[in-house]
Amino acid sequence: MTEATPAKTDARFADRAFVALQLCLPTRWLSLLVFKLTQLRAPRFKNALIRLFLRGYTIDLSEAEFDDIERYDSFNHFFTRALKPGARPMPGNAQAFVSPVDGTISQFGTISEDRIIQAKGHSFSLYDLLPGDADAGDFVGGEFCTIYLAPYNYHRIHMPIDGRLAHWNYVPGRLFSVNAATARALPNLFTRNERLNARFDTPAGPVALSMVGALFVGSLETVWSGRVTPPHLRHASDGGPYTTMQPVALARGAEMGRFNMGSTVILLAARGAIRWAQDIAPGQPVRLGATLGNWRRAGA
């Protein structure tokens, strides 16, 4: 489990150089350009782009809704592809708190007061992660898990536990890469980047899910609001939080949103709400539906 107090960073010269390059790049413009390119429907262009991507990454299309690239309308349609029904069965244990995505565990553990570990030597405040949330203090001393989605991962986001949407908000920000190199070298990475935060009322108490945008992440989307970005804003005209006109109740394993290109999801739960599984560790790949731990009923 993650230590409460970060030590000296593991950042290398190459990590710092990569961050310095990103600081000079027009990341919002580049991300918008990638979004527009991935939306193009010209068959020859989108098929060539998909084939190029498949040569660069190992992707199992046998579990995808369509295994024939001709059936995808655009590269984005392919990138945000759905899975075949039953491809990610939920565990039989109703108390299992599951991974909402395919990805790699970056960090997890107990929040030390309001500080969340980003990487060795770096932490950030949950109040900075959840600006405008008057109830962010509910997660002080609570539990967190950060999962990184690489470009080759399945990019839809699902519920880790049954929940009813309480409120959500969009937070403008930068669009730095969220890979391990940037996490090691750039302080407060996840609170600098654009993100969408959603808070749910669950049997384990409040659970928040933060969808953190990143370089070349062309779109953040939820099932209740549709596409939220682009445009990638520098300042929010109304930071929320927002509540939906109709109640939004989602079962464990139900889709709640999606990314275009790789990014990061941060899960937050209240103090003592989650007992993490003994066999998970930072750097470990996980798949949607894998048990991260067991949740404890609020007030029990």
What pLDDT band is residue 3 in, cutting at 50, 70 and 90?
very low
Whether pLDDT at 151 is above 90:
no
Domain membership of residue 58 as a residue range: 13-79
Residue 2 placed within a domain:
no
Q: Which of 106, 158, 162, 210 is catalytic?
A: 158
If asked whether residues 160 and 21 sit together in one domain, one would say: no
200 plus 108 within the same structural domain: yes
Residue 158 annotated as catalytic: yes
How far is Cα of residue 3 from the mean position of the Cα atoms in its chain? 22
Active site residue 232: no
> Across the chain, what does the average pLDDT equal?
91
Residue 240 maps to a domain: yes
Mean pLDDT on 220-231: 88
Q: 106, 123, 219, 263: which is the annotated catalytic residue?
A: 263
Residues 110 and 235 occupy one common structural domain: yes
Give the angle 210-86-168 at the CA atoms, nearest 5°.
Answer: 20
28 lies in the same domain as 130: no
From the list 74, 77, 99, 102, the catalytic residue is 102
Q: What pLDDT sits at residue 124? A: 96
Average pLDDT over residues 247-262: 91
User: Do 159 and 203 have their domain in common?
Assistant: yes
Phi-psi label, residue 51: left if phi above 0, alpha if psi -120 to 50, beta otherwise: alpha
The amino acid at 149: L
What is the count of structural domains for the chain?
Answer: 2
Average pLDDT over residues 140-160: 95
How far, in Å, are 29, 68, 100, 146 from residue 105 at the CA level? Answer: 29, 30, 11, 6
